[in-house]
Amino acid sequence: MEPLLLVEDKAELRGVLRKALERAGWKVEEAADASVAIEKARHMRYLLVLSDLKLPGGSGLDVLRQVKDADPDIPVILMTAYGSVEEAVTAMKEGAFDFIQKPVDLDHLKLLVARAARQQDLLRENLVLREEYAARYGFPRIVGEHAAIKAAGQQVQKVAATDTTVLLLGESGTGKELFARAIHHLSRRREQPFIALNCAAIPEGLVENELFGHEKGAYTGAGARKIGKMELAHHGTLFLDEIGELPLMTQAKLLRVLEERRFERVGGTQAVDVDTRILCATNKNLDAAVAGKTFREDLYFRIAAVPLTVPPLRDRGDDVLLLAAHFLERYSRELSKPGLKFSEAARDRMLAYAWPGNIRELQNAVERAVILSDDAAIEPKDLRLPAARPEPGDVPAAVGEEFSWEGTLEEVVQRATTRVERSKIEAVLRTCKWNKTRAAEQLGISYKTLLNKIRELEIPD
């Protein structure tokens, strides 16, 4: 929980107020004058500010203005022994949450603080989905109204308040990095670095060096010490995308960091202590990777303490239209094509399409449509989406009507190939009265290959 800032120049009263607030469960930081309070508010995020109106180094109104300039959403409660209607009106006009007179009624103050804190909770409840928060902290907006995306957003808010390792699951292109950034920016580490590393984009031999850095002379060409991503993210957040691609040796070293909060650089002997929160993401089935001995079971259990699934676009209903409108506004502005809109036919086409590439595919489609469109309305032809599935007359009989056309081209081709192979082999085996030697000759493959195919395709013998 974030602390509240208590600004009061009289040490005795400040002590009384602090004890009362701490007994009520709040964390409290103190400032004895306006200038110190303003400096603290510029470099630290507070739940709220409780300030005297009359202060050395400025006034409570100065504190109010500077705090609101740093973050307009922070509640500020002002106290004064010289209260008047005029002062109260001025304070409220300047954005004060409330105004309380001295001598302070401690019970009333605690109720006021609780109410202000509750307002903050409500304000932040859906920040991960709001454009205002995205604009303020500089990470892309997560757009969505569907229950699935709202549920994911609520999970983000819960885990963001902790330092727990989170495993983000979901298909490629669903926006897992956006959720990782949201967790970081809603956490107490928000002012510290967010470092992202795509484990699949780095050659296996260089992953450990990229992650942990190296000492001078660690290998040929290592002319100076290099700080790795883990160390760069000290006090902040390290996002490991595609963690399923991490080499086994590096997995062991990562496990040590998670358990001991220390590591050694490549070629080094000195342990480096780090305070880094780790977020992970994958579109692989890590259960299968553990079973296949390509991913450490102990590491899997360590990173999967809080799994968070980002839903695919096809499961988010009308969110596809909200996202399309968001991207249309962006690219229309960037490409100087104001006034563009989607035709009804284009909207229907987007709703009917399965979006195997998810949000990334939608974004690319909208950008392409904005570039190619010559009219005020974007039509289906401008989107250039592939057919969701072939016409029935174009589907091979061996594939069948119930065949799933979901997924990438490679995945669909693999499924179709498997089905056609099975159908062909079964047909030949029936013709040969299940004589495998004759069947192998007709199929033009070896007897051993046929036996392997029968086993792989689970053809009843």
Whether residue 43 is found in the same domain as residue 78 = yes
Instruction: Compare 373 and 130 and report the one with higher pLDDT.
Output: 373
Question: Using omega within 30 degrees of 0 as the cis cutoff, is the peptide bond preceding 75 cis?
Answer: no
The span from the CA of 436 to the CA of 456, in Å, is 15
**Residue 220 reports pLDDT greater than 50:** yes
pLDDT of 456 above 80? yes
CA distances (Å), origin 184, targets 4, 161, 259, 278, 348: 21, 9, 20, 10, 36
* Tens-place pLDDT, residues 336-366: 888 899 999 999 889 988 898 999 999 999 9
Q: Which residues contact 173 (CB under 8 A, 6 or more apart)?
A: 313, 357, 358, 359, 360, 361
pLDDT exceeds 80 at position 398: no
Note every long-range contact of 425-428, with CB atoms under 8 Å and residues 24 or more positions apart, other chains counting: 425/450, 425/453, 425/454, 425/457, 425/459, 426/459
Q: What is the pLDDT of residue 123?
A: 61
Same domain, 339 and 419: no
Residue indicated by tokens 């409660």:
77
> Is residue 143 assigned to a domain?
no
Residue 386: the pLDDT is 76
Q: What is the pLDDT of residues 90-142, one digit of tens each?
A: 778 888 888 888 888 899 899 999 988 887 766 654 443 443 344 444 444 67
Tokens of 402: 């119930």
The CATH number of residue 434's host domain is 1.10.10
Paired sense of beta strands 262-264 and 271-273, if any: antiparallel
CA 216/CA 237 separation, integer angstroms: 26
Rounded Cα–Cα distance for residues 283 and 251 (Å): 17
157 in the same domain as 89: no
Query: Of the segments 47-56, 385-394, 409-418, which one has the largest average pLDDT value?
Result: 47-56
In a domain, 134, yes or no: no
pTM for the structure as a whole: 0.56
pLDDT for position 70: 66
Q: Examine the pLDDT at 150 and tell me if it is beyond 90.
A: no
pLDDT for 253:
92
Q: Residue 193 falls within a domain, yes or no?
A: yes
Residue 409 lies in a domain: yes
Is 60 exposed, middle or buried, given 0-12, 13-18 or 19+ CB atoms closer than 10 A? buried
Token pair of 226 as six digits: 């290099």
State residue 384's pLDDT score. 87
- pLDDT tens digits for 279-314? 999 998 999 999 999 999 999 999 998 999 999 999
Burial class (CB in 10 A: 0-12, 13-18, 19+), 374: exposed
Asked if residue 411 and residue 347 are part of one domain, the reply reads: no
Q: What's the average model confidence in pLDDT over 146-151?
A: 88
**Distance in angstroms between the alpha carbons of the first and the last residue of the chain:** 64
Q: What is the CATH number of the domain that holds 77?
A: 3.40.50.2300
* pLDDT for residue 237 is more than 90: yes
Residue where a domain terminates, one of 124, 139, 167: 124
End residue of a domain, out of 346, 365, 383: 383
Cβ neighbours of 294 (radius 10 Å)? 16
pLDDT band at residue 320 using 50, 70 and 90 as cut-offs: very high
Beta-bridge mates of residue 50? 6, 77
Q: SS3 letters for the chain? A: CCCEEEECCCHHHHHHHHHHHHHCCCCEEEECCHHHHHHHHHHCCCCCEEEECEECCEEHHHHHHHHHHHCCCCCEEEEECCCCHHHHHHHHHCCCCEEEECCCCHHHHHHHHHHHHHHHHHHHCCHHHCHHHHHHHCCCCCCCCCHHHHHHHHHHHHHHCCCCCEEEECCCCCCHHHHHHHHHHCCCCCCCCEEEEEHHHCCHHHHHHHHHEECCCCCCCCCCCEECHHHHCCCCEEEEECHHHCCHHHHHHHHHHHHHCEEECECCCCEEECCCEEEEEECCCHHHHHHCCCCCHHHHHHHCCEEEECCCHHHCCCHHHHHHHHHHHHHHHHCCCCCCEECHHHHHHHHHCCCCCHHHHHHHHHHHHHHHCCCCEECHHHHCCCCCCCCHHHCCCCCCCCCCCCCCHHHHHHHHHHHHHHHHHHHHHHHCCCCHHHHHHHHCCCHHHHHHHHHHCCCCC
Q: Which of 280, 309, 338 is the last residue of a domain?
A: 309
pLDDT reported for residue 32: 92
Co-location of 8 and 54 in the same domain: yes
The per-residue pLDDT for 83 is 58
> Which of 17-21, 134-138, 379-383, 390-394 is the least confident region?
134-138
Residues 160 and 211 in one domain: yes
Mean per-residue pLDDT over the chain, rounded: 84
CATH of the domain at 323: 1.10.8.60
Give yes or no: residues 173 and 220 share one domain: yes
Segment 273-282, tens digit of pLDDT: 889 999 999 9
In the prediction, which pLDDT does 269 show? Answer: 80
- In the prediction, which pLDDT does 139 show? 45
Q: Are residues 62 and 99 in the same domain?
A: yes
Asked if residue 244 and residue 221 are part of one domain, the reply reads yes
Least confident of 135-149, 242-256, 308-322, 339-353: 135-149
CATH number at residue 235: 3.40.50.300
pLDDT above 90 coverage of the chain, percent? 37
Q: Which residues pair with 282 in a beta bridge?
A: 169
**Cα 38 from Cα 42, distance rounded (Å):** 6
- Tell me, what's the pLDDT at 82? 63
Q: 357 is in which domain, residue-wise?
A: 313-383
Residue 289: the pLDDT is 92
Instruction: Residue 97: name the closest of 82, 117, 81, 125 by CA.
Output: 117
| Six token digits for residue 165 | 């390792």
Residue 405 lies in a domain: yes
Q: What's the domain count of the chain? A: 4
Paired sense of beta strands 28-31 and 4-7, if any: parallel
Domain contains 87: yes
**87 or 421, which is more confident?**
421
- Regarding predicted confidence, which is higher, 246 or 72? 246
Residues 76 and 168 in one domain: no
Q: Is residue 160 a contact partner of residue 138, using CB atoms and an 8 Å limit?
A: no
Pair (320, 413) in one structural domain: no
Q: Looking at per-residue confidence, does 440 or 85 come out higher? A: 440
Give the pLDDT confidence of 401-445 residue by residue, as tens digits: 566 666 667 777 788 888 888 888 888 888 778 888 888 888 888
Asked if 9 and 157 sit in the same domain, the reply is: no
Of 181 and 226, more confident: 181
